[in-house]
Amino acid sequence: MDLSKVYFVIGTSYAGKSTIVKNLAKKHNGIALEENYQDEKLPELDAREFPNLCYTRDLQDWHEFIRRTPEEYVRWVNGAKKECETVELSILSEVLSREESKGKLIFVDTNISIPTLHRISDEKHVLVMMSDPEIAISRFFDRPDPEKQFLYQLMLEEPDPQAALDNYREILVKLHSKESYDELKESGFPIIYRDEKRTQEETVELAEKIFGI
């Protein structure tokens, strides 16, 4: 694939990845492959090949999803990310082959791993966005997006809602571990840190300078 017009965004929760991808695509009349864009392929995936991605598709009782231990949850997230990489690259190939994509910039909120990004791209096409881990953990359910509010409601329905919320907080702590943050910090790609005082327009300008667009 010719990825010269493809710009990848990776990073932590609550760092603004989805927002920057949308804003850059809008400003540059480009294409946004937004958070979880691999879900479009979910109905056709084989559970034997993609067991982690198909876990939620085939789940009968969503309460099982939130009842997992933090260790089980983190193993599932890491497995799903690896499977996402395969699906995302397939979708990206399809997008690049479309006539309407010719000449357009493509901005991707991606799960593709750091080692793979180093193989297929470079520091002018990959941006890391990071937020304070405490903010990502404490404000996880503050956002209005349906997925997070759905999970929050599930916990409130549990026999012991507080225990369910505490368990999920422990999951978030493990997902936002020092090791995962250090991996992003030491990725070799440029970083934008979340700053509540900075406007969305100013963040777009920072990203444009990094990408050289």
Question: Average model confidence (pLDDT) for the chain?
Answer: 93
**CATH fold of 6-211:** Rossmann fold (3.40.50)
CA-to-CA distance for 66 and 70, rounded, in angstroms?
A: 9
Q: What is the pLDDT of residue 98?
A: 94
- Is residue 90 over pLDDT 90? yes
Length of the chain: 213
- Is residue 142 over pLDDT 80? no
pLDDT digits (tens, 9 = 90+) for 5-29: 999 999 988 899 999 999 999 999 9
Q: What is the pLDDT of residue 181?
A: 92
Kindly state the DSSP code that residue 188 receives in the 8-state scheme. S
- Across residues 104-133, what is the average pLDDT? 95
- Is residue 67 over pLDDT 80? yes
Q: Which residues contact 68 (CB under 8 A, 6 or more apart)?
A: 76
Q: What is the pLDDT of residue 52?
A: 96
Domain ranges across the chain: 6-211
- Is residue 146 over pLDDT 90? no
pLDDT digits (tens, 9 = 90+) for 172-182: 999 989 999 99
E strands, 87-212, are: 106-109, 126-130, 191-193
User: What residue has token string 């294409």?
Assistant: 31
In the structure, what pLDDT confidence band is assigned to residue 36 with cuts at 50, 70 and 90?
confident
In the structure, what pLDDT confidence band is assigned to residue 187 with cuts at 50, 70 and 90?
very high
Q: If we measure between CA atoms, which residue out of 44, 43, 50, 54 comes closest to residue 85?
A: 50
- Both ends of the chain: CA-CA distance in Å? 20
Kindly state the DSSP code that residue 44 receives in the 8-state scheme. G
Phi, psi angles (nearest 5°) of residue 100: -70, -10
Q: What is the pLDDT of residue 137?
A: 80
- Is residue 139 over pLDDT 80? no
